[in-house]
Amino acid sequence: MFVDTHSHIYSEEFSTDRNEVIARAVKAGVKKIILPNIDSSTIKSMFDLVDSCPQLFIPLIGLHPTSVKEDFRKELQIMEYWFEKRNFSGIGEIGIDLYWDKTFINEQTETFRIQIGWAKKRRIPIVIHVRDSFQEVFEVLQQEKEETLTGVFHSFTGNAEQAAQVIDLGFKIGIGGIVTFKNSGLDAIVQQIDLQHILLETDAPWLAPVPHRGRRNETAFITAVAAKIALLHETSIEEVARITTQNAQQLFGF
């Protein structure tokens, strides 16, 4: 049984065949799908999906760093409003992204800190988006770190030293389709990371693993990620599923 710890299956990319995509995920052995939010525009579609199948979907709430603009405080108020209405298993997807635009780096950093504060107050994990920003993210985490603060570095693409830093902080490492890409170099890093620190994820609809690369990603493809990790660790796909599912259960508390 698998847990997809990061999927945006509520997005419009699945509007025409979402039920079929969900059926394929369940058939592939997926028992839980964790849904990180993006911004105020995605909340309703995420809730609609959760309410349609609450035993399968786990919602998170948060403001994605690429959605941090001049109105970020208004967006954060909308996120906070939902704490009074719904239960969430984590804060996400949050972090810092300096790949697309550095204009709002100060606002991104402030938004990241505020949302970390929500997580610490509620004792729930954070799901961190890191793109061209590992040092910036890590500095914030070191300053904000408390014993109760836990989470995962989503879609990890760092080096061995950065992986060690993440683990030393007590965070998990989210591994998705990139580990299957021929020239990513991530396979050599993942080979060195103990399975107890790894979570499986897809980031659907993006980053489909080989042999599906170039297509829309979906949760059922998590089996390709698990198979690659099993190969790297010279173990069975069942063992990868068992350990990573246990890791997800411990982190998100389901």
Record the tokens describing residue 179, joined without a space: 């580990």
Reported as a single tens digit per residue, the pLDDT across 10-36 is 999 999 999 999 999 999 999 999 999
- Between CA 2 and CA 24 the distance in angstroms is 13
Over range 179-184, report the average pLDDT: 96
Of 240, 175, 228, the residue nearest 5 (C-alpha) = 175
Distances (CA, A) of 10 to 93, 114, 148, 150: 14, 25, 30, 25
Distances (CA, A) of 184 to 126, 181, 209, 219: 25, 5, 12, 21
> Would you state the CATH architecture of domain 2-252?
Alpha-Beta Barrel (3.20)
The total of other beta-carbon atoms located within 10 Å of residue 230's CB is: 17
Over range 48-69, report the average pLDDT: 97
Is pLDDT at 151 greater than 90 in this prediction? yes
Is-contact 62 94, C-beta < 8 A?
A: yes
- Between CA 210 and CA 206 the distance in angstroms is 12
pTM over 0.95: yes
Q: Which helix (H) or strand (E) holds 4?
A: strand 2-4
Is-contact 123 87, C-beta < 8 A?
A: no
Reported as a single tens digit per residue, the pLDDT across 83-140 is 989 999 999 999 999 998 899 999 999 999 999 999 999 999 999 999 999 999 999 9
Q: Rg for the chain (alpha carbons), in Å?
A: 17
Distance of CA 179 to the CA centre of its chain: 15
For residue 51, what are the contacts with CB-CB under 8 A and spacing of at least 6?
none
Is pLDDT at 244 greater than 90 in this prediction? yes
**pLDDT computed for residue 100 by the predictor:** 86
Is pLDDT at 38 greater than 90 in this prediction? yes
Over range 227-246, report the average pLDDT: 98
Give the Cα-Cα-Cα angle 11, 13, 18 (nearest 5 degrees): 80
- Between CA 64 and CA 247 the distance in angstroms is 24
Is pLDDT at 240 greater than 90 in this prediction? yes
Q: What is the DSSP string of 39-61?
A: SGGGHHHHHHHHHH-TTTEEE-B
Is pLDDT at 160 greater than 90 in this prediction? yes
